[in-house]
Amino acid sequence: MKQGVIDSLNFNSENLEALFNDDENYIIETVKSIGAFEPQRWKEAFKKSLTRNLIEAKILHTAAGLMLPIKRYSRSPKKQVLEFAGLQGYNDKSKLLSELLSSLLEHIQDEQVVRVDVAIDFKGKIPNRVIKKLCEDREPFRYFNTTYYKSKSEKKSNNRLNIKTYNKSLTKNDTENIHRLEFSFLSSYLQKVQVKNLEKSFKKMEKTIKRFSGINVQISFL
């Protein structure tokens, strides 16, 4: 039995900023909104460009030095999405992110989860039997240091499930040489599950991981 850990969790809310507005430990910086557009600032913070489907983009700054993206998409303009990415990164930032998410959990129980990334780490290479199983139903596509496994009918946009593998070693000289298999469960898969019911979805996710990779996995949350 392999351990699966949640590396990323995104949730949305109609009243997201109210979680932070009255707390001096947080500052919200507007990057894209009516009268504001600073795409370079977004790229500096997250190493990614603003996409056209974002009608609003803000950065949540914490007293601990974290920066988290807050997004409002054109497809759901009434809700903002807060992204927790890198919860299992083997570094201080991951520890701070986990602590922040833990402190918010009691306040976001009724919010809708829109993405969950489950990571399965291997010391050394991912076993060949796992790669072979992934390739039974999906075609590998390598982009820089990441290999994506796309279904044969999958188009550019996918809002259900993404699978990828990559080297998670902290440095080139890292003796652990960790490789990660990651399953991203997206909105269509999650079916409007609320934070308070997320763990009830783990069995379904574990079965999906078993189906595509052959791995028996148990998912843990924080």
Q: To which H or E segment does residue 44 belong? A: helix 39-46
Q: Give the tens place of pLDDT for each residue, 94-133.
A: 999 999 999 999 999 999 999 999 999 999 899 999 999 9
Question: Quick check: 174 pLDDT over 60?
Answer: no
Question: Quick check: 16 pLDDT over 70?
Answer: yes
pLDDT above 70 covers what percent of the chain? Answer: 95
Strand partners, 120: 181
Question: Quick check: 173 pLDDT over 70?
Answer: no
To the nearest whole number, what is the mean pLDDT of the chain?
Answer: 94
φ/ψ (deg, to 5) at 129: -65, -30
Strands 2-13 and 80-85: antiparallel
Q: Give the tens place of pLDDT for each residue, 39-71.
A: 999 999 999 999 999 999 999 999 999 999 999
Cα–Cα distance between 11 and 16 in angstroms, integer? 10
Instruction: Return the SS3 of 216.
Output: coil
Amino acid type, 184: S
93 with 65: CB under 8 angstroms? no
Cα–Cα distance between 151 and 162 in angstroms, integer? 9
Distance, CA of 168 to chain centre = 15
Q: For the chain, give percent helix, strand, coil, nearest 5.
A: 25, 40, 30
The answer to pTM > 0.75 is yes
Tell me how crowded residue 7 is: count the other CB atoms within 10 A of its CB. Answer: 24
Q: To which H or E segment does residue 133 belong? A: helix 128-137
User: Considering only CA atoms, which of 118, 11, 25 is closest in space to residue 71?
Assistant: 11
Structure confidence at residue 124 (pLDDT) = 87
Structure tokens that stand for 134 in this block? 């992934």
Structure confidence at residue 80 (pLDDT) = 98
CA–CA distances in Å: residue 141 to residues 84, 89, 151: 26, 24, 11
Cα–Cα distance between 80 and 103 in angstroms, integer? 19
Structure confidence at residue 158 (pLDDT) = 82
Length of the chain: 222
Burial of 42 (0-12, 13-18, 19+ CB in 10 A): buried
DSSP symbol at 127: P
